């Protein structure tokens, strides 16, 4: 098995497609590689199928036009919880004081439904971890590693055709387009920021 990030991105895309088969209204995942190495304390720091299903809840909420979080995306409300239950996620009885109902876990039925997907993704994640284990303390890890995550991941500049720009976490933009209030066109991340030479 290859251990390059593109292979892991392909496995993430395949797992997302497996979720879409059960929930057709789930939008496509535009940039699966944006989930690799990104941490979010509200959505779960570790990349796993459970975290992917959590992100799918946000994707369905976006498709339905439902605001499922507040407090800059940290607090997951009861609307998030209702969709999470549809996707096979259980939750504590009471919300967490700062993150609400973000601490969801796979229920037994969902674990059985996605068993093959979970195993395949687990293997790809294990291979990716082994491939990146050669990182040393002298490797440059970027601002999130130096200063700690703000809880929402590393933000990059997204632009629209009229020249306006916003700072956004790539995975948030991947969930659904963010439209410019000035010209009505979607914000996008310039290609230069996505390539290693553009950092």
Dist. CA 37–CA 100, nearest whole Å? 24
166 token code pair: 């916003």
Q: What's the pLDDT tens digit per position in 12-29?
A: 889 999 999 999 999 988
Cα atoms found within 13 Å of the Cα of residue 25, Cβ hemisphere only: 12
Which residues have C-beta within 8 Å of that of residue 94, sequence separation ≥ 6?
A: none
CA–CA distance, 4 with 2 (Å, rounded to integer) = 6
Query: SS3 string of 29-87?
Result: CCCHHHHCCCCCCCCCCCCCHHHHHHHHHHHHHHHHCCCCEECCCCEECHHHHHHHHHC
pLDDT in tens, 156-191: 788 888 888 887 777 777 777 788 888 888 888 876
């Amino acid at each position: 098995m290859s251990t390059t990030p593109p292979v892991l991105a392909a496995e993430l895309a395949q797992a997302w497609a497996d979720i879409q088969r059960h929930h057709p209204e789930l939008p496509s995942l535009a940039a699966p590689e944006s989930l690799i190495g990104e941490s979010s304390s509200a959505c779960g720091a570790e990349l796993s199928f459970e975290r992917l299903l959590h992100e799918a809840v946000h994707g369905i909420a976006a498709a339905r036009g439902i605001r499922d979080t507040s407090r800059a995306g940290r607090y997951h409300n009861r609307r998030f919880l209702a969709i999470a239950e549809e996707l096979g996620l259980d939750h504590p009885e009471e919300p967490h004081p700062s993150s609400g109902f973000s601490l969801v876990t796979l229920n037994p039925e969902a674990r059985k439904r996605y068993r093959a997907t979970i195993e395949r993704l687990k293997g790809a994640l294990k291979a990716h971890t082994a491939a990146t284990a050669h990182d040393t303390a002298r490797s440059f890890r970027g601002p999130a590693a130096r200063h700690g995550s703000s809880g929402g991941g590393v933000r990059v500049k997204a632009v629209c055709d009229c020249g306006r720009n916003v700072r956004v976490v790539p995975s948030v933009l991947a969930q659904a387009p963010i439209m410019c209030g000035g010209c009505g066109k979607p914000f996008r991340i310039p290609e230069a920021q996505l390539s290693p030479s553009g950092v």
